[in-house]
Amino acid sequence: MRRTPQTFLLLPAFLAMAVAQICICNSTCRAETDSPAPSKTQATITGRVIYKPGSGPRWRFARYYVRDSKKGWLAEAIVVLKPKGRGRKIKNASPQTAVLDQKDFRFTPEILAIRSGDSVRFLNSDPRVHNVSASNAVYTFSLTLSGGAEQVMKFPRGLGVERPLDIGCKLHSTMRAWIYVFDHPYYQITASDGRFQIHAPPGEYRLTMKHPAGGFESSQSIRLAAGENRTLDIFATGRP
């Protein structure tokens, strides 16, 4: 193909667009549940969150979060090791950008956990107009996104496991999601098999499990020793 002078003038623009696409992927495609390999002095706690129904009727939304009713493994629960002691924050050395999409009139994922300093890229993959809104003492926003639109928002302050951001769509009231913002990296959202694994330095912690869609909550004190590998299952009992 013959290259005209105009072709060479366009090449830098095409290269810049390619580099921009690579940068976007690097900043938004990292999995939030990636956990670095533990050092020899760190402890590891591994387990599952298991749903156990009470004596009454079963939780009607269990079918969305419990893949196997006999095993009861609960997906999309947040498990957190909170270091004891006020004001203990761990700097986020490499802020990331997570993605919260709106597709088929649902937020995807429904539960998102990030570090303070991270950003969230809000997307609308539906052809209809959606809204992303939340309001608490730290963050208040209302974003209206047309089909295919997106907006990035940074979250500089942690909220902890006690105060997740309750996300809604003002145009479609059945759409809900929750964003947890932490000042430390000791947390994980359970997978479809209910499993979690968290690495942390030895010390005293408050181990908390929450499932905001089900209203389940469990909390206990725990001490971890250097190099310890502990297995601990957590039970979500009763019916919301």
Q: Is residue 166 part of a domain?
A: yes
Q: Is residue 6 part of a domain?
A: no
Determine the structural domain holding residue 205 and report its residue range. 27-237
Q: Is residue 5 part of a domain?
A: no
The one-letter code for the residue type at 96 is Q
Residue range 106-131, pLDDT digits in tens: 999 999 999 999 999 999 999 999 99
- 203-211 and 195-200: which strand pairing? unpaired
- Mean of pLDDT values over 71-96: 90
Q: Please report the pLDDT score of residue 19 as a whole number.
A: 36
Give how far Cα 141 sits from Cα of 34, 107, 175, 212, Å: 28, 16, 16, 20
Q: Is residue 7 part of a domain?
A: no
Helices (H) and strands (E) in the chain, counts: 2, 17
Give how far Cα 95 sits from Cα of 26, 27, 88, 112, 118, Å: 12, 9, 18, 15, 5
Q: How confident is the model at residue 74 (pLDDT cuts 50, 70, 90)?
A: very high
- Mean of pLDDT values over 85-114: 92
CATH number (domain holding residue 184): 2.60.40.420
Q: Is residue 223 part of a domain?
A: yes
Q: Please report the pLDDT score of residue 22 as a whole number.
A: 32
Q: Is residue 17 part of a domain?
A: no
CA 151 to chain centre: 18
Q: How confident is the model at residue 12 (pLDDT cuts 50, 70, 90)?
A: very low
Residue range 198-240, pLDDT digits in tens: 999 999 999 999 999 999 999 999 999 999 999 999 999 876 5
Q: Please report the pLDDT score of residue 57 as a whole number.
A: 77
Q: Is residue 57 part of a domain?
A: yes
Q: Please report the pLDDT score of residue 87 as a whole number.
A: 59
Q: Is residue 232 part of a domain?
A: yes
- Give the 3-state secondary structure of residue 37: coil
**Alpha carbons 80 and 43: distance in angstroms, whole number:** 14
Report how many domains make up the chain.
1
Point out the least confidently predicted range of 57-61, 83-87, 186-190: 83-87
Query: Where does the chain have alpha helices with state H?
Result: 5-28, 62-65
Sign of the dihedral defined by the CA atoms of residues 134, 104, 121, 11, in that order: negative
